[in-house]
Amino acid sequence: MANILQFFMAPDDEVAFFRFLERHVLEVYPRRVPPDWVPFRANPDNIPRLPEEDLYLVASEIGPAMVDKVKRGPDKGFWRIDEVRSPVIFIERSRRNEEGELLSGKMWVELEVTSQTGRRDAAPDRFRRLYMEVEEFVKKTFRRGDPKDFFVGNRAARLFKEGLVLRDSAFRGGTVVPHK
């Protein structure tokens, strides 16, 4: 089963998050990789270059990103990263909707052997430790939300006090309230 962490990150929270990630060698890839894509390091200086919504953080020191070429559909010619066999962390960024509400984002990684995904070997221990360190950072520095499945960045929590609505990005998602 995948490890999933749901969060709310305001732009300042994202800067702090990428400042933390800077100590690791993580390369950024979009969800659908154009053939001419040049990966770059995950650090605060490169935040303007990040894809708008979804991205992969590839632990390139641990292993390469396994990719397949998309042969049909609107993404034909692009590359698709195999998130099960590759040492990647998938991140769906927090973003605002039409009403100005902040939608939740999530971090997803597959670490275990599962029959559903076809993973035959568990993720390498180095990658498991790296992800657990990232997850621990979020759990330590972000506030718990209500419902309890969410973590709210400090800046997002301050914006909530000023009237920002935090909304679950799931279909018909409810609102989330940060704990004090």
Given the structure tokens 């039409």, which residue do they identify? 98
What's the confidence (pLDDT) of residue 35? 87
Residue 20 parent element (H or E): helix 11-21
Burial class (CB in 10 A: 0-12, 13-18, 19+), 22: middle
List the beta bridge partners of residue 68.
Answer: 80
Long-range interactions of 81-84: CB distance < 8 A, separation 24+:
81/29, 81/33, 81/56, 83/56, 83/108, 83/109, 83/110, 84/110, 84/117, 84/118, 84/119
Distance CA 117, CA 111 (A): 11
What's the confidence (pLDDT) of residue 66? 84
Longest dimension (CA), the chain: 49
Summarised one tens digit per residue, pLDDT across range 99-155 is 999 999 999 988 876 655 555 565 678 988 999 999 999 999 999 998 888 999 999
Summarised one tens digit per residue, pLDDT across range 1-50 is 578 999 999 999 999 999 999 999 999 999 999 988 999 999 999 999 99
Q: Spell out the residues 6+ positions from residue 78 whose beta carbon is closer than 8 angstroms to its own.
A: 32, 33, 34, 35, 69, 70
- Answer positive or negative: Cα dihedral of 61, 125, 130, 30: positive
